[in-house]
Each structure stands twice: as C-alpha cells, then as structure tokens.
Structure 1
Amino acid sequence: MQVLVTRPRGQQQALMDALRQAGYQSLHSPALHIEPLPLSDATRRVLMDLDLFHAVFFASSNAARLALAAMADLWPQWPVGVHWLAVGKATAAEITRWHLQPTVPDGGFNSEAVLSLSCLQQLAEKKVLLCRGESGRELLAQTLSQRGAEVETLSFYRRLPSTEFHCPESCDWVMVTSVESWQAISGKIPPGAGVVAAGERVASHIRAQHTGPMRVAASAHDEDMLAALPGA
C-alpha cells in the first residue's frame, strides 16, 4: 500500500520510517514550503524583553526552531521564570534541543489543549508571547486576551504552496497534517485516493472538496497518523 507524506521538506523522515516499519510503501512530496521571514527591528525589540514574559508559546517546530535561534542571538543565558509552551511533541523536542524545559498538553495538541494548561489560567497583568507562522488561528490570542493577558504575536516564517508537489495515480493514501497543506494540494489528489486528516478541523475542510475515502487521525503526531491507516 502506497502512502504519501506531505510534510514540509526536512520534517518527513520519522513518519516515513514508521510507515516502512509498519509495512507500507512511503512516498514524500511536500505540500508546503517553509520560508523564514527576515528578523525586523520591531521583532528584535520584543525579544530583547523576553524576561518580561510569563509564557512563550511556539505554534510549531518551525516556529520553535526559528524563534529560539533569534532569541539565542540576543540572550547568552536564557531568562528564568518563563514558561516555554509547545503545541505538541515535535515542537517540545525542538525546545529541548535549546536546553529549555517545555510544557506540552497531555493530549489534543492544538490551541484548545494549550489553553487548558494550568499556567495559562490566571493571566491578569501577565505577558504572553506567541511565536508562529505568518498566518494561523486566532483562537489562542483571543482567549488569552480575554483572560487578562497582554499578548504579543510574532511571525517567523510563511507557508507557501510547494511547486514540487506530485501525487502519483498509484497512491492509496495521502497524509494531510494541516488545513494549509490541504488547500495547497486539494486539486491535485486522484479522486480514488484516500486521505488521512490530522484531526477533525482538517477533516472538515477535506470533506468539502474530496469524495474519496477519508480517515481522521487523533492528531498530527506520527503515531496517530499511522494508527489511522487501514490495517495499522
């Protein structure tokens, strides 16, 4: 059974290896290209005040990698007392690479799960920094503001549809891990191919445009995407 992984280049290997070990033929064609954004003077000024933030949230492993690299250039030693928040395990692993202790939800691995973290409940007169891509859901920022936080949002990259994407006619299943990924490839999937969607939010967008089989994974994590395949 052929399974196409659509993660950005450089982020596909662990899932492809897991697929092969489970007996599937794994292919890779990126749906999105990650383009880092230049670091503006305004962004540098915010990062210089990193020690004033109660919590710093990273919306993806890309956000963590790029934001922490920029922070490390300005902070020879990390500020103390900051909660470093990850949306999921891959993001947490990137934070750990920088010798920081991440906080990650026990399950869900989305904005709703992050909002349930104990450190984000009482936020009056506290500052929270959101590090993310150029576009994304506004739920987190809006809810944190409603809880009394002063929220600062910084963008460190943009997602662009990949010009390299190709789904062979022989492909049985396509793994889609974000709404943006689906929007980039929705007209390029063979009608008979199945789609594994990373969560119900992604699945709702796919249902509107794809008539082939679909399975909904519990999250975008590799083990959940793999578990959603038939026969897994």
Structure 2
Amino acid sequence: MPALHGLHILSLRAFSSPPDPGPDQVCSHQKNCTQKQDPLLARLEALGATCHNYPVIKIVPAGADDERVKQQVMAFSDYDKAIVISQRAAQLAGWWLDRYWPMLPVGIEYFAVGPTSAQPLRDQNVSVTVPESGYSSEALLALPALKTVQGEKIIIFRGGQGRDLLEQTLKERGGNVDCCELYSRVVDSLHREAIAELLQAQSPLVLIYSGQVLDALLEVVPEASLVKLKSLPIIAPSERVANLARNKGFSSVHLAASALAQDMEHSVLGWYTHAR
C-alpha cells in the first residue's frame, strides 16, 4: 500500500508560470495544470495522496509597460547586489533583464532566499548565492556578503505586500536599497466553494507556505467552515509561519525544515506515519 494512501492534502500555493512571452502570461487555475508544475504535489500523489490545489492568492505580474520597473531594470548596471525573494520574482526578473540586458552587466552579485528561488536565474547561467539552510530572509541576512553592505547599491526583486525585513535590515547596515515590485498578490476567491465542499467531505492535511496565504485562506473560507478548518493539521515551512497559524487559532501545526519540496514531503510523511 502506498505510504500516503487515503490522505487528502489541501495545497493553496498560487501557480507560478514562466513569464515568456510576456510577464502577464499566467496559467489558469486548473487543478491539473498546477499539479503538473508543482513537484511537491506530483511526489505526494505518487506516494498515494489525493491532492487538491486551490490557490487563495493570485499573482498579478507588472505589465510590460510598467514605467517604474522599466527604469529600475534599465539602471541595473548601477547596482552591486541583486536579490530575488521568490521563484516568481526570479522568473520575472529574468524576463525583464533579458529584455533590456541581453548581456548582463559584470560585477553584480546575485542572491536568492533558497534554491527554488535561485533556479530560474541559474537556468540562465547566472551564479546565485543562497543560504546553506533555513531558506528565509533571516538566513539570507546571515550570509557574510550581506552583513557588510555599507555604501553598496542593492536591488531586491520581489512582489508587493511582502515582508520588509530584508529591505529594512540592509538599509540599517548602510546599504542603498531599491525594491523592484515585479508582481502583486491579491486574494483569490475562485475556489471558495470547492474548499468549503472539501472541508465538509474530508479532513485534509493543509500546506501553508506563508502568512499571506494563511490570511487569504481565512478570508476565503466561509465562516461556517472556520471551526473545522482550524482543527485540521497544518504543515508550515518555518517557525514564523507556524507561530502565525497558532496565533490564528490553529491547533495542530507541524513544522517542516523548509519550503523545499523534499522537506515538505518529509514532514508530510512523518506526520501521516504517526497519525495513522
């Protein structure tokens, strides 16, 4: 019998489609499209789980005519360091840089929160430094190269409404920091009824990747389903997100080593082994 036979899993992560041929290209919210692109869900289903991917946040890329982004990218050669905070930010940064810099400027150091965030740039043969573990803003800030940034110009490629810890800390360390907002996040209620029906029929394990996803889930789920939702087991990728969930009233919160697919998979397997 497969290791995860009988387990239903609710994933809420928004789909991150490649930006080509333009940054406004997005995938529809079809469940099968998302799962083909999400290595974690594919691995969990191969282990026998039934995965339900219902994003509660929609990623809206900046338009190709966004003047602020255009000006920041055109001035890219002025920076000493560039940081991408997510896979989607890296994909879009790659699209914008390729558009205005067919040959990247020399002398810029690239950083990413983790291997998944770094991969789109590495696929373009860009050398990217990531933390050895942790894969968070805190771990990134602990890198020696980001501890001494006095007088350096730093650009952070990110989405709006994110955490300001990275920006503020680098400024406190003397860096001149600009944030390039490549996309925005908006609450997506498209799957409101599907989530409510799932909660009524099953008791799924819930994968929560960020505080924003958590807040969006609580906004999307009908009030009548909140008690059931908060009783469900949750896998969180960091202590910060785990604490946010506990503070929101979730009673069964479990911690993965990171948001990497293998770490989330390991946590799911560990929880289900003990739960059965």
Q: Does the alignment reach a TM-score above 0.5? A: yes
Which of 109, 112, 116 is equivalent to 1:83? 109
1:16-46 residue CA offsets vs partner (Å, 9 max, x unmatched): 1111233322221112110112253232222
The structural deviation recorded for 1:122 is 2.0
Q: What is the 5 A alignment of 1:3-22? A: 3-10=9-16, 12=35, 13-22=38-47
Seen in structure 2, the aligned counterparts of structure 1 residues 159 and 42 have a Cα distance that, compared at 3 Å, is closer
The structural deviation recorded for 1:205 is 1.6
Question: How far, CA to CA, are the matches of 1:212 and 1:41 in structure 2?
Answer: 46
State the secondary structure of the residue aligned to 2:72: helix
The residue number in structure 1 matching 2:267 is 228
Q: Write 1 or 2 for the structure with the bigger share of helix.
A: 2
The residue number in structure 2 matching 1:179 is 211
The structural deviation recorded for 1:87 is 0.8
> Any gaps of 5 or more consecutive residues in structure 1?
none
Q: CA RMSD in A?
A: 1.8
CA contact (8 A) 1:186 1:209 kept: no
The residue type paired with residue 55 of structure 1 is: K
> Any gaps of 5 or more consecutive residues in structure 2?
1-6, 17-33
Question: How far, CA to CA, are the matches of 1:150 and 1:208 in structure 2?
Answer: 35
The residue number in structure 1 matching 2:93 is 67
Identity %: 28
Larger radius of gyration: 2
Q: Would you say how many aligned residue pairs link Structure 1 and Structure 2?
A: 232
Give TM-score, length-normalised by structure 2: 0.78
Which of 69, 78, 87 is equivalent to 1:52? 78
The residue number in structure 1 matching 2:134 is 108
The residue type paired with residue 13 of structure 2 is: R
CA contact (8 A) 1:4 1:171 kept: no
Give TM-score, length-normalised by structure 1: 0.92
Q: Write 1 or 2 for the structure with the bigger share of strand.
A: 1
The residue number in structure 2 matching 1:200 is 239
State the secondary structure of the residue aligned to 1:81: coil
Mean Cα displacement is larger for which, 7-16 or 199-208? 7-16
State the secondary structure of the residue aligned to 1:228: helix
1:72-125 residue CA offsets vs partner (Å, 9 max, x unmatched): 111110111111111112111111122211111101111111112222122122
Q: What is the 5 A alignment of 1:141-180? A: 141-165=167-191, 166-167=194-195, 168-169=198-199, 170-180=202-212
CA contact (8 A) 2:232 2:250 kept: no
Question: How far, CA to CA, are the matches of 1:164 and 1:218 in structure 2?
Answer: 31
The residue type paired with residue 37 of structure 1 is: A
Q: What is the 5 A alignment of 1:25-40? A: 25-38=50-63, 39-40=65-66
The residue type paired with residue 272 of structure 2 is: G
